[in-house]
Amino acid sequence: MPISFEKIIFLNKQMYNILKPKAGEIWKVNYLIQSPLNFASEEQYSLYSSLARSFLIGNSPPRYVMIVKEPELSEDVDEQWLIVYVMLLSVEIDFISNIDLLIPAKISGLDQDLLAETWHIIPALACNLLQPVGKRISHHIYDYLLTVSDYYQGLISQLPIIEEIQQLGCKHEKLRSANNPIIQEFHQAEQAWSDVLTVPVAAYYTYLKSIKFTNAILNEALQLEQDLQSDIGD
């Protein structure tokens, strides 16, 4: 059965309106994806994984992220397409590992536990995050989650003592290694799902390149016209 992408919308700047995410906040991912490039249906189908497409047409549970790095404003940044770095959170809490940590509902303020994928930090367009939900993660837990992420990436040699995370309520007795085949399969599925957020970011960078290329051509044409007018004047 063909998949309809009518829910994937592309809004112009006049329609843009968004809160600025803050580090440690939990945000719900929008089902309605915005992008600076309007892909044809065939392109949309090929760019998104089947898991991503299922989410985009509303056939999968809500998804959440934790803000890791707030968007940076500058003169060179189009406010419509602010990029924010996020850590993916999953409602599938059966895949707890040494780098997929349980965030109990009492900490998140939501009505369900979440799994913090400390290994899975990606860029996303802020406009594709719907709204903040629950409670902002404490500075203590935020720092620990990023420390586990640093450990996974090899930036530090060891994790903080295990008692610390147990006290925070983010540890679970059914702990698996990230090398466990079940966990690896879960990670592959999560990477496929993240097309929802990463494809629009890739489209944004393509859009920027096209703008720079167009500006370069226009500037060259303008310079050529000025040179010709100068030659005629001489």
Question: Does 21 or 18 have the greater pLDDT score?
Answer: 21
Residue 7, domain member (yes or no): no
The CATH number for 156's domain is 2.30.30.110
Q: If residue 101 lies in a helix (H) or strand (E), which one and from where to where?
A: strand 100-103
Q: d(Cα 154, Cα 191) in Å, to the nearest integer?
A: 20
Question: For the segment 149-167, what is each residue's pLDDT rounded down to a tens digit?
Answer: 998 888 988 876 656 666 6
Residue 76, domain member (yes or no): yes
Domain residue limits at 58: 13-233
DSSP code for 93: G
R_g over Cα of the chain:
22
Q: Rounded to the nearest 10 degrees, what angle do helices 195-233 and 181-193 cross at? A: 40
Phi then psi for residue 222, to 5 deg, are -65, -45
Question: For the segment 158-209, what is each residue's pLDDT rounded down to a tens digit?
Answer: 876 656 666 666 765 567 888 899 999 999 999 999 999 999 999 988 878 7
Beta bridge partners of 103: 114
Q: What's the total number of domains in the chain?
A: 1
Residue 3, domain member (yes or no): no
Residue 196, domain member (yes or no): yes
